[in-house]
Every structure is written in C-alpha cells, then in structure tokens.
Amino acid sequence: MLDMTPFHDGDAVLDVATGTAVIPLKLARKGTAWREIVGLDITLAMLKKARQKVEAAGFADSRGNDRRRSTVIRLTCASAMAMPYRNGHFDIITCALAAHHLDVPVVMAEMARLLKPGGRITIADVLEHPSGACRRSAP
C-alpha cells in the first residue's frame, strides 16, 4: 500500500484506524522530511500499544519528552466518522484493513473534508469477489 502512494517532503499524513501505529512507524522510518504524521484510532487500548511502540522507536511527541529524532508521530483517540482536524489539513490520508469496519460513505466524506486540494487517499482492505476469489484492485 505504501509503495503505491507518492509521498513528498513536507507532507502531513493521517493514518485512519491506525491500530498499533504500524503505518505511521513505517512512514517515520522512511527518512522523508514529514510536516506531520498522525495516527487516529477510536480504541484506546490499541493506542496505548501504539504509544509504547512509538516511544520505543524514538518518535514520541514532545509531551513524551522524547525528541531523539526530528520526526514525531502524534496519536489521537477519536472516531473516523468525526475526525477532530481542520478542513484541508492533510496531504495524504491512509487507511489499511479497517474500511470494512466503518461507515464508508461517512468516512470518505470526512477524508475528503480533511484533504488538501490535490491530496491523496490510499485505502487498502479485504473484500470478497463475487466468484469467491480475492483479486487486487488497480491503484
């Protein structure tokens, strides 16, 4: 999924339904000069695990007093159906293996609201092909 998404220095990235912050951590390790990396999840228990991983990797925010690296990952506990960010804030929004748990039209409207003009959304999820076989969708 990340290999199919074009990233640029200065991008602000939101990972929706971040879980244990797998995607934010992969992004932070890419070496790109991010403006911001944010992981959002509604489940506090998942975010607690994410926080541990982010701190261990040295990407915690300044409130965690860990600024060993210039890249910081912020974690937010909130619903993907009403995300607490201003309109047009993010360059890239990702969501992996979670859309089937969400009200897709509502989440897509929220993502569109948060995305800057010309921004990019990347969603990866499982789905069942009518034949019962899985297939890969084109990017």
pLDDT in tens, 107-119: 888 889 999 999 9
Instruction: Output the pLDDT for position 138.
Output: 41
User: Nearest CA to 11 among 63, 139, 28?
Assistant: 28
Q: Tell me which of 14-18, 32-36, 90-94, 106-110 is least confident.
A: 106-110
Distances from the Cα of 135 to the Cα of 40, 44, 68, angstroms: 28, 33, 42
Q: Rounded to a whole number, what is the largest CA-CA distance in the chain?
A: 52
Six token digits for residue 67: 């600024």
27 neighbors 37 (Cβ within 8 angstroms): yes
Per-residue confidence band for 62, with pLDDT thresholds at 50, 70 and 90: low
Six token digits for residue 124: 């990866």
Instruction: Output the pLDDT for position 132.
Output: 52
**64 has pLDDT over 60:** no
98 neighbors 16 (Cβ within 8 angstroms): yes
- Which pTM was predicted? 0.82
Six token digits for residue 129: 């092909």
Give the residue, 139 or 114, on which the prediction is more confident: 114
User: Nearest CA to 111 among 17, 11, 42?
Assistant: 17
Per-residue confidence band for 68, with pLDDT thresholds at 50, 70 and 90: very low
Distance CA 96, CA 21 (A): 11
Give the Cβ contact number of residue 73 at 10 Å. 29
